[in-house]
Copies of this chain bind each other. A is one copy, B any other.
C-alpha cells in the first residue's frame, strides 16, 4: 500500500481520517441520543479532558481550527480591545479576519518575529505604547501564540512560562493556537498540564483535524467563568452541532490510548527523517530548527522541479530576506511511513544528480 497519497507534502490537512476515529463515528451511530451535547459520549469526553489536563477544564468541541481560535479569542477580548500576536500568526493572515468577526472588531496587533515566536518583552513594549494613548488606542487584553508556530518552531516551557508571566503581569490573558499541539507536546515531551495552565496558558485551541480527525478541534479553557459565554458564542456562530455525539466521538477516540500523541510523534519523526535525508543534498538548508512536522527548506531549483516532475506536492514559500534561492515548505503527517519519506529523499537526490 504505497498509495499516491503519500506524495503530498503540501499540508497535513490533505490526509483522511484515522481508522480509530472513523470506527468511533460508526460506533457512536446506533440509536437516538439527546442532541446538542446532552449525550453520554460528550459526558465521557468532558471527564477525559479533566484527566488529560489534571484538573477540571471547560472543553468546547467545534469542527474547525478557525472556529476554535476565533471563539476563544472573542471570549478574551472585547470589541475595543487588542490581541497581540506574531505578525505571521495564522489568526492574523490565514483566517480571513475571523478573530475580528467573532470579537466584534477587536484588533490583532501583529508583532515582528524571525521564526514565528514572540520574544519576551515584545508585548510589554507594545502594551506600554497602547496604554500611553488612552482611549484613542485599542485596549490591551490578550496575547495569542501558536504552538507550533507558522514556522514550525516550538516555544520551550521556560520561554512559554516567561510569556505567561509577562501577559499576566500586564493584566492580559494568554491563548495558544494549537492546530499542531500534538506535534508540540511530542517534541517537548511534557504533560498537557505543563504546556498549558501550569505555564500560564488561559485558553487553548487543541487541534485534531490535521492530526487524524475528520473535523474536530477542542477549545479548552481553565477559567470556569468563561464556560457559559463560550457555549453561547458557539451556538450563535453556528458551531454547535445538533448531532454533537459525532464531534465528541472524534475527540474521545483521539484522546483514547494517546492516539493524538502517537500521531504527533509519528509526524515529527517523519519530519526529522526528512530533514536528515535532505541534508545530504547540495544546496539544501533548513531555515529553522525542525521542532514539529514542518520543514522550511531552501532547495536548488532543479531539485524542486525534479520532485514535482515525479508527482511530489508542496508549497513554494516566501523566502525571508537574505535567503539565497527558493524556499519550500514540506509538511509530514500522522500517517506517513518511513518509505514515504525515503521516496521523497531519493527523488530529491535523483533530481540533484540530474540538474
Interface residues of A (CB under 8 A from B): 3-8, 10-11, 13-17, 22, 25-26, 28-36, 62-68, 70-71, 78-80, 93-98, 100-107, 129, 133, 135-139, 209-210, 214-215, 229, 231-243, 246-247, 318
A242 and B64: CB pair below 8 A? yes
B30 and A98: CB pair below 8 A? no
> Of A32, A71, A79, A247, which is in contact with the most chain B CB atoms at under 10 Å from its CB?
A32
A243 surroundings in chain B (CB, below 8 A)? 13, 15-17, 209, 214-215
CA distance A26 to B96 in the complex (A): 31
A93 and B137: CB pair below 8 A? yes
23 CB-based A-B contacts, threshold 8 Å: A3-B31, A5-B31, A8-B32, A10-B34, A11-B35, A11-B242, A15-B32, A16-B29, A17-B29, A22-B25, A63-B238, A64-B239, A78-B229, A93-B137, A95-B136, A98-B237, A101-B105, A101-B236, A102-B238, A209-B243, A215-B242, A215-B243, A239-B239
A17 surroundings in chain B (CB, below 8 A)? 25, 29, 243, 246
A100 surroundings in chain B (CB, below 8 A)? 100, 105-107
A104 and B133: CB pair below 8 A? no
Min C-beta distance of A98 to chain B, whole Å = 5
A95 and B215: CB pair below 8 A? no
A5 and B29: CB pair below 8 A? no
CA distance A238 to B129 in the complex (A): 21
Partner of A136, one of B31, B136, B138, B235: B235
A232 and B31: CB pair below 8 A? no
Q: Copy number in this complex?
A: 4
CA distance A79 to B79 in the complex (A): 10
CA distance A101 to B106 in the complex (A): 8
A238 and B70: CB pair below 8 A? yes
A241 and B215: CB pair below 8 A? yes
Q: Tell whether A232 pairs with B139 under 8 Å between CB atoms, given A101-B79, A237-B238.
A: yes
A13 surroundings in chain B (CB, below 8 A)? 35, 242-243
B97 and A107: CB pair below 8 A? yes
Min C-beta distance of A175 to chain B, whole Å = 15
A129 surroundings in chain B (CB, below 8 A)? 318
Smallest CB-CB separation from A16: which chain B residue?
A: B29
Min C-beta distance of A23 to chain B, whole Å = 10
Min C-beta distance of A19 to chain B, whole Å = 9
> Of A11, A64, A243, which is in contact with the most chain B CB atoms at under 10 Å from its CB?
A243
A235 and B66: CB pair below 8 A? yes
A80 and B236: CB pair below 8 A? yes
CA distance A63 to B321 in the complex (A): 41
A241 and B31: CB pair below 8 A? no
Q: Tell whether A5 pairs with B32 under 8 Å between CB atoms, given A62-B238, A107-B100, A236-B80.
A: yes
